[in-house]
Structure 1
C-alpha cells in the first residue's frame, strides 16, 4: 500500500484547524445550510469566495493599522498625522473566481497595500494556475475557455499571454546560467516545432543539449531553436556554451548535423564527435521493407558491436555482399557516409560504449515534450517555443518528483510505478566504470577535475 506524500507545515496546520472546527461544532450550522441547498460553496456568491474576500479585507485592514500606527476606533487617533479614509472597490481575479474587494485608504495617500498591490488585477495563485495549464500544453485560447467554464473568470487573450511571458526572465536566467568547466559527455537531439515566420508557418528544429557532469549527473544545458542551417548556427551555440564556462568536452553524441562537427572542432579542438548509433540505424532502415527490418537489424548489429574499426569495416563489407545488402544498398551507403563520425566509440570498452552510443537520454524527454507541443498548432516566435519547452520540462520533472515522493517509504516489495527522472538530475547508469575508462583514455584532460 502506497503512503501519502508528506505534507508541508502549512498544510498540517490547515488540516488541524479544520479538524478543531469540526470537533467544536462551529461548522454544524454551515453544513446544515449546505445540505439544505441554502448555501453554495463555490461560484459567484459562494461561501469560499466570500471567506477569501473577508480574509483579504481583514488582512488589508491589519496592514493599514500597521501603517497608521493605531487601531481602528482608538480614541487618540486624532493625535496621529494620518487617518483612515474609507475604502475603494476593486475587482480582482482569483483561483475561485472574481472577488469584489474593498481596499482601505488613508487621508495622506501614503498607504501601499502588500496583500493586494496597487495596479494588480489578479491574485498570485491564479497566475500560477495559468502557467501550469500553459506548461501542460494548453493554448492561450484553451486556458481562456477553461477559466471561464471552471471559475467564471474571463481574462483576455493579451492578459494570459502577459502572464505566461512573466517567466521569460527565469528562462533567460536559466539559459545563461554558469556551467561546469568539463562535461565528459554531451548529448544533443532535436524535435520539430512549428513557428510562425512572417506570413508563413515553418518547421524549425528545437535542439536540446544534455551534459553529463563528473558525477555522472545529467543536466539540460540549454534549448536552441535553429535559425539557419549549418556551421554559423552551431558556432553560435558552441560559443555560448564556452562563454558560460565550458572549457572542454570529451565526447559529443548527436545525430548527423550539418556544420556541427566543424563548430565543435573550432571551439573545443580535442572533442570527439560521435554519431548516435540509434539515429544511424533508423536512417539505414528508412527504405527497408517492414518485413525485412528485423533481419536487417540483426545483420547490422555485428557492425556497431565489433571489437575495433577494422572488424567493423569487415562486417560492413560482409553485409554489403549479402543478399540483404544487395537488396538494400541505401542501408550500406548510410553507414559508409557516416563512417568517420560513427567509428570513434569503437575504440572504447563496452561500459563506455553503452554510455555514448545513443542519445536515448534526450529522446525520452523529447517524447514527453512532443505530447505537449502537438496540440499547440504553432508558436508565434522562437522565444515562445523555448518558453513553452522550458516550462514543460519543469512541469514534467515536478510531476515525476511528486510521484516518487508518494511512493517513498512504501512497501519495498511492491513494484515501483513512479517513473524515474527523465533527464535533469538523473545519474548515468554504470557511470563509475565509464568514468574510469574515460580517465584512462583522456588522462591529461580529465584527471585535473577528479
Structure 2
C-alpha cells in the first residue's frame, strides 16, 4: 500500500520546468521596451532634424519626404535590374547586356531629355502635380516591369523610369528655392535633401535585396508602393512650391542664336558644369570599370568582397559630401569645382601608378566626395544665376548633361582595358576637364555674370 501511495505521489509531481525561464521572458520584455523607446527617440530626432531651421514652416520638410521616397524607389529598381542584367550572368554576357541597356535606354534619353525642362517651364504653376505625376508613372512602370521581367518590355519601361526620374529631379530642383527657409542656404537645403535620400535609398536597397530572395518582382512591387507614397507627399506640398503662371511660354526646342533664344548658362555655370560633368563621368567609369575588373583581376580578396569595398567607398564618399554640404557655406563655389577636379586627377594618377585594391578604394572615395560636393555647388550656382522663368530649363539641361556624362563614363568603363591603362586614361580626361574649368574660371573672374 505504501508503495502504491508513493507511486501515485510521484505521478502527481509537478511537470518539468518550462524551456524558457521566467527571468529570460522578463529580460526580453525589458529589452523590447527599451528598443521601442530607442526607436521612438530616433524617430523624434529625425522629425526634429527634418523640420529644423524653418523647414517645417515653409514646406521644405514635405519636399525632403518626397525626395526620400523618390530615391528609395529608384534604389529598389536599380537593385532588381542589377540582379537581372549583371550578377546572374557570366562576365562577357554581363558586359554585353549592360552595354545594351545603356544604348537602348540612354540613346532615346539623349534626344528627349532636352525637352523636359521646357515642358516643365510650361507647367511650373502646377509643379506639385507634375511631381506627383512623375511618382505615379514610375509606380506603374515598376509594377509593369515586375510582370514583364523577361520580355522586351523591360528596356522601354526602364527607359521610362529613367526619363521620369530626370523629370522629377528637374522639377524638384526648381521647387527648392521657392520653399527655402531664410535660415538655410541653397547648398544646405540640397544637402539636407540628399542626405535624406541617401539614407532612404540605403534602407530601400537593403530591403530590395531581401525581397529579391523571394523573387525580383517583389522588389519591383515594393518600389511601386514607395512611389505611391511619394505621390502623396508631392500632393501635400504647399501651394508656394508652384510658380506664377508665365507671361510668355518658352519654346520647346530653341537653338542658340535664335532671335528670341535665352542664354540659360553663364560662364560661371559652365565652369561648374565642366568640372562636375568630368567627375560624374569618372564616377560612372569607376562603377562599371571595377564591376568587371574585380571579377577578372586578382586584387586580393574575392571578387564580391573587392567590388563591395569599391562600391562602399563610393557610397561613403557621397554620404560624407552630403553631410559636409549641410554645414558648408560656399561663398566661392567655383574654387571648389576646380580644386575637386584637380584632386580627382591626382587620385587617378596615383591609383594608376599602384593599381591595388586600397588605391581603388581611395580613388572611389575621393571621386564620390568631389562629385557630391560639386553637384551641390552646381545646383546652387544655377539657382542663383538662372532666371526663374527658365530655371526648370536650366536645371533640365544640367541634369541631362550630368546624366549623359555618367553614362559616357560607364560606357568607357565597359571597354576591357587593363588596370593601369584604364585609370591612366581616366586621369588624362579628368585632368583636361580640370584645365578647361580653370580656364573658364579665370574668364568668369574677369567678366562676372552672377
TM range (shorter): under 0.3
TM-score by length of 2: 0.24
Higher relative contact order (CA 8 A, sep 6+): 2
- Whichever of the two has the greater Rg, that structure is 1
The answer to which structure has the higher strand fraction is 1
TM-score of the two chains, using structure 1 as the length reference: 0.24
